[in-house]
A and B are shown apart, each in its own frame.
Chain A
């Protein structure tokens, strides 16, 4: 159990940090395995925060706890000052927590555009039917021939989001037929469609080539500049070190280091954890800063 003071709402304005998400004392056991032990971290508004660690460290499990898919054995998740313990996953999504998955979870039978539309439309309530109406197929025709693609607001937004992740022109491709890199970007666009305040990205860079992951990095920095909080799980250390404002390091379910990329890289425990796991993926390996 975490100490009682860890559960108390913490409003220390020190350092001008503005946490949108706070995880306090989260512990998760799977049978005898401790996936997470007393994990505490926070994610600031308008920043990219890295979450790194060797395989099996518990990164995905922590994402599941934050998005509500995994109930922790103890600990709290606080989003914008609100304890999420009793908030179900779809409500968390609507409050502003979006995520992508390490193992792609796309709506494979839908087109790229429709994948994004599901994200866009999920925030529309049935009594707001007039907003929904904008997604009716004929709304496009009414706008006249030239403006067909943008005549419908929802379709237009979906297409702009896809263009934003570099998929302009791929709107009507069936998502299950897309290459991994593009599919990851569709998933990202779907998450962004919900206009989240916090987006959890579980290895968005895997399956991307060098140029693509560079573009992903600058996209994430732009999102943060717009005020979104990004929590990034990533094995591509170069990407992490380049875009993250802060980095938390998980090892066997424990947070072993937190700080700026430089601080974390210099931390002997981190180096030990990574060298212990595999020398090739040490955080210092790809750093060019």
Chain B
């Protein structure tokens, strides 16, 4: 049993409050600081949040449930196009955002049909084909989608705020909502079931889980998040065209997913920060930037196969660094521990009486 479980209960509760408080501080900072930034930085920070929402969708699909579906860039585009077209037809921004999300959940949820038959590589190819059909529709949609030339996005604006800041605030609120929902899902039954399906679907089935129903929900939910991201992305870029939703975008999403840490809840945020910050920093290297980006990617994946979200865990388990970090951590309490062993802080003494009778005769206690 890891040592943190031996901490007194008061300490653990204190950590939870500390975690909540620091989240509130972070969100407050994100609300009050950006107005003072220049508009390019405002753009970058909004882009980071948009990427985080989008990658969260991919994470639920691939990282949690283990469905290697690659239609996400297409679904992202679907959200962008649907919301833009709705706004062009006189819809308000928020309704169009929600309807684009729900509509894409239905369309993107269709990928579940190949997913019920195939898994792994076959599903990857089938879903990739699905995404390219969607992008073909953007390309050949005539005046509705603007074809290869794309669509100008009517940008939503709060009175008294710039366009970028209006988009920023809507994005911030969406990010918080999406992550709160995902957090609850992960720590309740849904999360356990998703991981069960990923680990061994056969055992999930014989444990009475309706795998089909869960998969339908997972694909729809992932598409919903992807489409919300896409709709916000359209607002941010103010102009959309089919190439923006090509396989390159998918690769970027996969990079953010695996770099941030697939299967971790907050991994997508780290991945999004990495993607945005790196592209900006490397811009000054001119023609070498792609090369450097690739090298950096390899380096991070090599050092942290579990993604950036696994860094604290990695520090804890590595010998030398670990001792130093543990020393510091014991002074300040460790926030991220809750992530790994969430919802199971059972004191070792609390066994209760055996449901299946006499605990003294239990299988392993018989050995001791």
Shortest beta-carbon distance, A171 to chain B, in Å?
5
Q: What interface size band does chain B fall in? A: 35 or more
**Residues of B208-225 whose CB lies within 8 A of A:** 208-211
| Smallest Cβ-Cβ distance to B340: which chain A residue | A174
Give which listed residue, B209, B352, B359, B367, contacts A118 with CB less than 8 A: B209
Give which listed residue, A99, A106, A161, A165, contacts B199 with CB less than 8 A: A106
In the complex, the answer to whether A107 meets B363 with C-beta atoms within 8 Å is: no
**Residues of A215-263 whose CB lies within 8 A of B:** 215-216, 218-219, 222-223, 226
| Bound Cα distance A180, B210 (Å) | 28
In the complex, the answer to whether A108 meets B193 with C-beta atoms within 8 Å is: no
Q: Mark B334-351, 1 if CB is under 8 A from A, else 0.
A: 000000011111111011
Knowing A107-B196, A172-B2, say if A137 contacts B364 (CB, 8 Å).
Answer: no
In the complex, the answer to whether A194 meets B207 with C-beta atoms within 8 Å is: yes
In the complex, the answer to whether A141 meets B202 with C-beta atoms within 8 Å is: no
| Bound Cα distance A67, B200 (Å) | 16
A residues in contact with B5, CB < 8 Å: 172
In the complex, the answer to whether A122 meets B208 with C-beta atoms within 8 Å is: yes
| Bound Cα distance A118, B13 (Å) | 26
Q: A98 contacts the other chain (Cβ, under 8 Å)?
A: yes
Knowing A150-B352, A160-B352, A164-B355, say if A101 contacts B364 (CB, 8 Å).
Answer: no
B residues in contact with A99, CB < 8 Å: 206
Q: B20 contacts the other chain (Cβ, under 8 Å)?
A: no
**Residues of A46-79 whose CB lies within 8 A of B:** 67, 69
In the complex, the answer to whether B352 meets A93 with C-beta atoms within 8 Å is: no
Q: A94, A105, A156: which has the most chain B beta carbons within 10 Å?
A: A105
Give which listed residue, A109, A121, A149, contacts B352 with CB less than 8 A: A149
Q: A166 contacts the other chain (Cβ, under 8 Å)?
A: yes
Shortest beta-carbon distance, B65 to chain A, in Å?
12
A residues in contact with B351, CB < 8 Å: 159-160, 163, 168-169
Knowing A167-B364, A172-B1, A172-B345, say if A110 contacts B192 (CB, 8 Å).
Answer: yes
In the complex, the answer to whether B362 meets A113 with C-beta atoms within 8 Å is: no
In the complex, the answer to whether A89 meets B359 with C-beta atoms within 8 Å is: no
Q: B187, B199, B353: which has the most chain A beta carbons within 10 Å?
A: B199
Task: Label chain B's interface by main secondary structure.
Answer: loop
B residues in contact with A41, CB < 8 Å: none
A residues in contact with B342, CB < 8 Å: 137
In the complex, the answer to whether A169 meets B1 with C-beta atoms within 8 Å is: yes
| Bound Cα distance A65, B100 (Å) | 44
In the complex, the answer to whether A69 meets B192 with C-beta atoms within 8 Å is: no
B residues in contact with A163, CB < 8 Å: 351-355, 359, 362
A residues in contact with B237, CB < 8 Å: none
| Bound Cα distance A68, B363 (Å) | 30
In the complex, the answer to whether A94 meets B356 with C-beta atoms within 8 Å is: no
Q: A111 contacts the other chain (Cβ, under 8 Å)?
A: yes
Q: A155 contacts the other chain (Cβ, under 8 Å)?
A: yes
Knowing A99-B206, A132-B189, A222-B357, say if A149 contacts B199 (CB, 8 Å).
Answer: no
Give which listed residue, B189, B210, B346, B348, contacts A155 with CB less than 8 A: B346
In the complex, the answer to whether A164 meets B199 with C-beta atoms within 8 Å is: no
Q: Once A and B bind, how many residue pairs between them come within 8 Å at the CB atom?
A: 188
Q: A166, A192, A209, A214: which has the most chain B beta carbons within 10 Å?
A: A166
A residues in contact with B356, CB < 8 Å: 161, 164-165, 192, 219, 222-223, 226
In the complex, the answer to whether A118 meets B362 with C-beta atoms within 8 Å is: no
Q: What interface size band does chain A fall in? A: 35 or more
Q: B159 contacts the other chain (Cβ, under 8 Å)?
A: no
**Residues of B15-53 whose CB lies within 8 A of A:** none
In the complex, the answer to whether B344 meets A172 with C-beta atoms within 8 Å is: yes
Q: B143 contacts the other chain (Cβ, under 8 Å)?
A: no
Q: B299 contacts the other chain (Cβ, under 8 Å)?
A: no
Q: B188 contacts the other chain (Cβ, under 8 Å)?
A: yes
Q: Mark A165-193, 1 if CB is under 8 A from B, else 0.
A: 11111111100000001100101001010
Give which listed residue, B263, B363, B364, B366, contacts A109 with CB less than 8 A: B263
In the complex, the answer to whether B366 meets A212 with C-beta atoms within 8 Å is: yes
Q: A114 contacts the other chain (Cβ, under 8 Å)?
A: yes
Q: B365 contacts the other chain (Cβ, under 8 Å)?
A: yes
A residues in contact with B208, CB < 8 Å: 90, 93-94, 119, 122-123, 194
Shortest beta-carbon distance, A7 to chain B, in Å?
26
Give which listed residue, B192, B195, B352, contacts A159 with CB less than 8 A: B352
Shortest beta-carbon distance, B341 to chain A, in Å?
6
In the complex, the answer to whether A118 meets B263 with C-beta atoms within 8 Å is: no
In the complex, the answer to whether B189 meets A110 with C-beta atoms within 8 Å is: no
| Bound Cα distance A99, B204 (Å) | 11
**Residues of B145-187 whose CB lies within 8 A of A:** 187
What are the nearest 5 A-B pairs in CB distance? A166-B362, A149-B350, A166-B363, A166-B364, A122-B208
Question: What 9 new A-B contacts, CB under 8 Å, besides A106-B203, A219-B356?
Answer: A92-B206, A98-B207, A106-B200, A107-B192, A114-B343, A137-B187, A149-B347, A149-B352, A215-B362
Would you give 21 A-B contacts (Cβ < 8 Å), ordered by A? A89-B205, A107-B203, A109-B198, A117-B189, A132-B189, A145-B9, A155-B346, A156-B352, A160-B354, A163-B359, A164-B355, A169-B1, A169-B351, A171-B344, A190-B203, A208-B363, A212-B363, A215-B362, A215-B366, A215-B367, A216-B363
Q: A residues engaging B (CB < 8 A)?
A: 67, 69, 89-90, 92-94, 98-99, 101, 105-111, 113-114, 117-119, 121-124, 132, 135-137, 141, 145, 148-150, 155-157, 159-161, 163-173, 181-182, 185, 187, 190, 192, 194, 208-209, 211-212, 214-216, 218-219, 222-223, 226
